[in-house]
A = this chain, B = another copy of it.
Amino acid sequence: MYPNDGFRELERAECLRLLAKVPVGRIVHTRQALPAVVPLNFRLDDDGSVVVRISARSELVRAIDGSVVAFEADEIDAGAQSGWSVVVTGAAAVVTDPAACERLARTGPQSWAPSPQEVFVRIRPELVTGRQLVGGRTLYGVDLPS
């Protein structure tokens, strides 16, 4: 997100409210020194962190565990040129606490295809930014202040 571009910035609480509405977002990370992005279903946890559930043997876990990632979700109506986009940026880490894992097994996201070894990965909401697009105004024209 870029400040000072004249568009409506969303408050953190509003960002989290919007994020809770949608089932799928995108994990933005680095893979082999290149920018990478993976859509994934997720659940917003009580503290505003984003939780995903993926195979413990996946390359994605290796790529993001212990790294700072961004998680983006949006709803954009291209016809009306309106919508919103929210980005949570923070450290991603495999959840290892047994009590937390047990709780997430009940309340966390379900894999779209369960695999025998799964882990929950939590993305801390260290930075939560969002922007609302009003019809007819570009999302990210982003003029710098003079």
Is there contact, CB below 8 Å, between B144 and A35?
A: no
Is there contact, CB below 8 Å, between B35 and A141?
A: no
Closest CB of chain B to A116's CB: distance in Å? 9
Closest CB of chain B to A126's CB: distance in Å? 10
Known A5-B58, A139-B40, A140-B40; judge A35-B76 contact (CB<8 A). Answer: no
Partner of A72, one of B24, B30, B37, B144: B37
| Interface status of A97 (Cβ within 8 A of chain B) | no
Count class of interface residues, chain A: 35 or more
Is there contact, CB below 8 Å, between B58 and A2?
A: yes
Known A68-B34, A143-B57; judge A112-B137 contact (CB<8 A). Answer: yes
Known A72-B26, A81-B112, A141-B115; judge A87-B54 contact (CB<8 A). Answer: no
| Interface status of A136 (Cβ within 8 A of chain B) | yes
Is there contact, CB below 8 Å, between A111 and B138?
A: yes
Distance, CA A25 to CA B39, complexed state (A): 12
Is there contact, CB below 8 Å, between B59 and A142?
A: yes
Partner of A24, one of B30, B70, B78: B78
| A38 partner residues in chain B, CB cutoff 8 A | 1-2, 85, 139-140
Query: Which residues of A in the span 26-68 have a Cβ within 8 Å of any Cβ on B?
Result: 26, 28-30, 34-41, 54-55, 57-60, 68
| A14 partner residues in chain B, CB cutoff 8 A | none
